[in-house]
Structure 1
Amino acid sequence: MDHLAHIWPTMAELAVDLGVPYSTVAAWKQRGRIPAERDADLVRAAAARGAALSFEELIKARPPRRCATKRGAA
């Protein structure tokens, strides 16, 4: 989420702009990722702040997902 700090200096500002509780943004920060389903919301909210943010930037900044292993799989 550090790649968004130039647009949203605080998690509280991001929460307000996205219309989500602060605790939601705090959970994203703890996990180190914002769900991809929020990309369009982020792009729109950045534009409302007068900042440019592209889907490509969001994709490049997203950490790779770790695959879960199934226990007991043959």
Structure 2
Amino acid sequence: MDEIFEIWPSLAEMARDMGEKYPTVAAWKRRGIPARRDADVIAAARQRGFDLTYEQIGLAREAFLAPTPAGDAA
């Protein structure tokens, strides 16, 4: 999901653009963005000039949630 968060210079700016509190967005960074907020993330990214799609968010979520092979550092 890092590539999505990199659209914003800071979590504080993402929170502001999303109309969320900073701790909520910081939790998204650790746990992943809830699927119910995908449309809001896409709209906020577009306001910043990024053409983010549902597919890109889905692929990022899939990679984020994929289990790490045993023995690899997370």
Structure 1-normalised TM-score?
Answer: 0.77
- Name the count of aligned residue pairs: 65
What percentage of aligned pairs have identical amino acids? 51
Identify which of structures 1 and 2 has the higher relative contact order when contacts are C-alpha pairs closer than 8 Å and 6+ apart: 2
| Cα distance, 1:28 vs structure 2 | 1.2
Larger radius of gyration: 1
1:55 matches 2:50: no
Matches within 5 A, 1:59-74: 59-62=58-61, 63-64=64-65
Q: Which structure has the highest helix share of the two?
A: 2
Residue 72 of structure 1: aligned partner: none
Structure 1 Cα separation of the partners of residues 20 and 50 of structure 2? 20
3-state secondary structure, aligned to 2:46:
helix
**Structure 1 runs, 4 residues or longer, greater than 6 Å off:** none
1:38 matches 2:37: yes
Structure 1 Cα separation of the partners of residues 66 and 28 of structure 2? 14
Unpaired stretches in structure 1, ≥5 consecutive residues:
67-74
1:64 aligned partner, one-letter code: L
Unpaired stretches in structure 2, ≥5 consecutive residues:
68-74
Residue 24 of structure 2: aligned partner: 24
